[in-house]
Structure 1
Amino acid sequence: MDDRQELSLLVSRLGAWLDAKSPDQGRALFTEDAEAHTLGGVAKGVDALFEQARRNHTVPTQHFITDPLVEISGDSATIGANLLVVFAHEAGPRLLGERYELDAARTPDGWRISRVQARPIWEVTHA
């Protein structure tokens, strides 16, 4: 598998991890010093990132991450992708459209996400 394929797969695994709500699986996705900047706040360090994800994903979710645009420069990469996330609240779903801007680093264990920036574009509540 080449670097672009591995990085695209990493983005897909990010969505699956968020939906599965399984922090242990996240260790294979992120660097230890990873940061997340999302509507749910800012988290620095992988443990803080896991806590932020747990706190902000209390209902069933489904993340659709599409159209990854991968740029590689040596042992670092940037990835832009579209995100549609559905939060399945009892009162009705919340739909959120965002643009992901991800940074990744090549580690001895493969590519890992070092930074997540989520830029909101639109939102529909109780659709």
Structure 2
Amino acid sequence: MEQRDRDELTDLIGRLGLWLDGKRFDDPRAVFTEDAEVTTPGGTSKGAGALAAQARRNHTVPTQHFVTNPLIEVDGDRAGIGANLLVVFAHEDGPRVVGERYDLQAARTPDGWRIAGVRSNVIWDLRAA
């Protein structure tokens, strides 16, 4: 794997977090492929428009996504990325903090690397008492 691919894929992961936290749901193609498929605790959706709608429904309060320890494997124009995710949902009655494991698939497009698939596995979930 070239270092440039690794740098661009690491940047893509960061842009995913900023896309979610900044509620930039009107521009899913800045992060996702047109036919991306997402499966999270908030549901499953396929297609850039549908996954943006899912993200909008599930991110109604301020959030902060911390994506760490990416393990990247590139195979030509495709890549697999495993990473840890810590997300904080800032509800008025107290925070909800969720620890997850991301399994991301990425594809090289004419516009650069984009996420083609997301699967998240919840490891733990702490809700305000």
TM-score over 0.5 for the pair? yes
When normalised by structure 2's length, the TM-score is 0.95
Asked if the contact 2:28–2:49 (Cα under 8 Å) also holds between the matched residues in 1, the reply is no
- Does residue 1:56 correspond to 2:51, yes or no? no
Q: Sequence identity of aligned pairs in percent?
A: 65
Residues of 2 paired with 1:87 and 1:79: CA distance? 24
CA distance in 2, matches of 1:69, 1:88: 28
Shift of 1:27: 1.6
- The one-letter amino acid of 2:46's match is K
Unaligned runs of 5+ in 2: none
**How many aligned residue pairs are there?**
127
Q: Distance in 2 between matches of 1:52 and 1:105?
A: 21
Match of 2:80 in 1: 78
Quote the Cα distance in structure 2 between the aligned partners of 1:48 and 1:9.
23
1:116 matched to which residue of 2?
118
Q: How does 1:20-59 map to 2 (within 5 A)?
A: 20-59=22-61
1:69 to 65, 68, 71: 71
- Partner of 1:47, secondary structure, is helix
What is the TM-score with the length of structure 1 in the denominator?
A: 0.97
Structure 2 equivalent of residue 11 of structure 1: 13
Report the aligned-residue RMSD.
1.0
> 4+ residue runs of structure 1 moved beyond 4 angstroms?
none
Query: Any unmatched runs of 5+ in structure 1?
Result: none
